[in-house]
Amino acid sequence: MAGKTLYDKLWDDHLVKQRDDGSALIYIDRHLLHEVTSPQAFEGLRLAGRKPWRLDANLATPDHNVPTTDRERGVEGIVDPVSRIQVETLDKNCDEFGILEFKIKDQRQGIVHVIGPEQGATLPGMSIVCGDSHTSTHGAFGCLAHGIGTSEVEHVLATQCLVQQKMKNMLVKVNGKLGPGVTGKDVVLAIIGKIGTAGGTGCAIEFGGEAIRDLSMEARMTICNMSIEAGARVGMVAVDQTTIDYVKDRPFAPKGEMRDRAIEYWKTLHSDDDAVFDKVVELEGSEIMPQVSWGTSPEMVAGVGGNVPDPETEADPIKREGIVRALKYMGLKPNMPITEIKLDRVFIGSCTNSRIEDLREAAAVVKGHKVSPLLKQAMVVPGSGLVKVQAEQEGLDKIFIEAGLEWRDPGCSMCLAMNADKLGQGEHCASTSNRNFEGRQGFGGRTHLVSPAMAAAAAINGHFVDVREMMN
Amino acid sequence: MRALKQHQGIVAPMDRSNVDTDMIIPKQFLKSIKRTGFGPNLFDELRYMDEGKPDQDCSQRPINPDFVLNQDRYKNASVLLARRNFGCGSSREHAPWALEDFGFRVIIAPSFADIFYNNCFKNGLLPIVLNEEIVGQLFRETEAEEGYHLSVDLEAKTVTTPSGEFFSFEVDDFRRHCLLNGLDDIGVTLEDAGAIRAYEESRRKTAPWLFGAGG
């Protein structure tokens, strides 16, 4: 019999019951909640007279609607009354049901996918869900982690389980070494460019290979975070010493003898050598260039030295139509060099790229330079209150401010523009977020997905440049 | 949840691939704490010429006459015909809520994004996968004939055209069972409360650090 993949092991460890109809009950160890996808779930519990199954499995924080300025005023500082009601509703629900919440004024508040790992609330081998598609982030720790809808948020609250069908196993292997200036973000954008936004549909992706093994936990989180942009709800990386070193002293991590037992288990969380995958894709790390998205889907990416594509050269009529539509929306011409795309704003933040390493990489590029006068705004939004504190201890805030970038308070911010941070119509933004959909960052806004280093280089120049040229 | 056994309805063609959930229901409408009322803002940025705001009277807004759902022949559609990877992106269940609130009961596409596909079944909405060739044929027939409708039979797992041609589709048994009977699947899961407790007990022995930490 063939060995097991990491996904097989995680599935087996969380299987409560296999049903005759092919569905299975899967146990959930950690449930993360935020204000946007939970109110209707709590309301459902109340209407049915149900209580949460296991309180200590839940952890909540407001992130999507919170302002990134004026935070000392707490909830009162949220200008939009509809946003404020949503955050207040989360507070009220957590208080009523007894769920631990890092509220808006708590220093531990932040983007839900940043605070889970930061607190050790995300531990290797856990099953983790949240009403947010970027829950795949936590797979970087060898977790079975994926996004769910609001009905399933209610289902997990009420039963601590989900009804699931087993997915297929897919391996994405990045061989060799990455070049200097090439980051986890470039790797995942290159993967999505290669396999497409539906390339991982129906699959749990494991990212492996030497280039992935060499990455920090922050970079692995960036890659797993965007699995969903490749169509896969689940993205994972096997546990190794890098994982264990990152989690072992976190506040929620086990201590003493319990920790030793946990580490022993965590070390088993990798695919067996003879495991068989349903699908395997390989990339060469040395061939990956810094990436820039030019279109309105995350698969519409090119290396920074490349050009915007010409729809005339696309054979598939549905794809050709998609390119024509995207270029029209983005206001770009076929064959124009990526480096000629002029920018209005730069956003460094989001659950994809707002951790300390991301901020260090951006700061290293802008240090000693000034933001281009062509830009209307360049902003840095740390992923959590604790990331912000650490960045300030390292003096990164001063580097950003001296270069002319705004230094904000933590939240999802301009990744999806549910708070006050948004693009104007027709504006181009170099963004370290995860989605370049039409209108995502503001009505009529035009998003270009890049790494923090590439966003920083674009901020200095007012258009895209190859960040590697600035590093020489 | 509303049950769905059979459904017959007018078909509206949404002729673009990778329709994401941001497009189905833009973020400003996610601030609602209710499950209903999203229909007027379905496809808001495609449907109207201005930027939509929550709690607005949409009947006074300038509409985009080119958008499919604004054309008289499709206004009463309840079957949405779409291209590959429909519902990609955000996990927001507001997307199926908006589709259902508008009046859709069935969506047919060559492929769906996983989370969206799953969310549909929780809301009385049936997503049907048919191959690209058949979907192409249905697009041609829909556009050629005003009032074109399809009949869907979830029991028999078939889609039938007005000419009587029918296509079979696959759907897993559990989801089909819940949708046919309009079941609340929390209730179904709680019938296994004993199995869940037994799992917890054994897991507490093998991985005690997963219980009681921090929370």
CA distance A297 to chain B (A): 8
CA distance linking residue B92 with residue A131, whole number of Å = 8
Across residues A286-301, what is the average pLDDT?
A: 98
Across residues A376-398, what is the average pLDDT?
A: 98
Residue B9 φ then ψ, to 5°: -160, 165
Q: Do B173 and A440 lie within an 8 Å CB cutoff?
A: no
Q: Do B212 and A56 lie within an 8 Å CB cutoff?
A: yes
- In which order are the strands placed within the sheet that holds A203-208? A234-236, A203-208, A168-175, A279-284
DSSP-assigned letter for residue B58: G
Residues of A numbered 136-165 whose beta carbons fall under 8 angstroms of chain B's beta carbons: which are they? 146-152, 154-155, 158-161, 163, 165
Q: Which residues of A touch B85 (CB under 8 A)?
A: 197-198, 201, 231
Q: A104-149, pLDDT tens digit by residue?
A: 999 999 999 999 999 999 999 999 999 999 999 999 999 999 999 9
Q: Are the beta carbons of B87 and B24 closer than 8 angstroms?
A: yes
CA distance B208 to chain A (A): 8
Smallest Cβ–Cβ distance between B215 and the set A56, A86, A440 belongs to A56
| A268 and chain B in contact, CB less than 8 A | no
Q: Are the beta carbons of A110 and A410 closer than 8 angstroms?
A: yes
For chain A, the average pLDDT equals 97
Task: State residue B184's pLDDT score.
Answer: 83
Q: Which residues of A touch B35 (CB under 8 A)?
A: 40, 43, 150
| A314 and chain B in contact, CB less than 8 A | no
How far is CA A294 from each of CA A181, A324, A349, A379, A435, rounded to the nearest angstrom? 20, 12, 19, 21, 12
Q: A221-248, pLDDT tens digit by residue?
A: 999 999 999 999 999 999 999 999 999 9
Q: A172-206, pLDDT tens digit by residue?
A: 999 999 999 999 999 999 999 999 999 999 999 99
Q: Which residues of A touch B207 (CB under 8 A)?
A: 125, 262, 265
Across chain A, which distance is largest between two alpha carbons, in Å? 64
Task: State residue B215's pLDDT score.
Answer: 41
Task: State residue A116's pLDDT score.
Answer: 98
Task: State residue B212's pLDDT score.
Answer: 78
Q: Are the beta carbons of A456 and A466 closer than 8 angstroms?
A: no
Enumerate residue ranges in chain B where pLDDT < 70. 213-215
Q: A401-445, pLDDT tens digit by residue?
A: 999 999 999 999 999 999 999 999 999 999 999 999 999 999 999
Q: Are the beta carbons of A137 and A224 closer than 8 angstroms?
A: yes
Task: State residue A318's pLDDT score.
Answer: 87
What's the alpha-carbon Rg for chain A, to the nearest Å?
21
| B85 and chain A in contact, CB less than 8 A | yes
Across residues A245-274, what is the average pLDDT?
A: 97
CA distance B136 to chain A (A): 11
Q: Which residues of B touch A88 (CB under 8 A)?
A: none
Task: State residue A382's pLDDT score.
Answer: 98
| B134 and chain A in contact, CB less than 8 A | no
For chain B, the average pLDDT equals 96
Q: Do B27 and A417 lie within an 8 Å CB cutoff?
A: yes
Task: State residue A472's pLDDT score.
Answer: 65
Q: Are the beta carbons of A370 and A404 closer than 8 angstroms?
A: yes
Q: A20-47, pLDDT tens digit by residue?
A: 988 999 999 999 999 999 999 999 999 9
- Provide the β-strand partners of residue A347: A379, A431
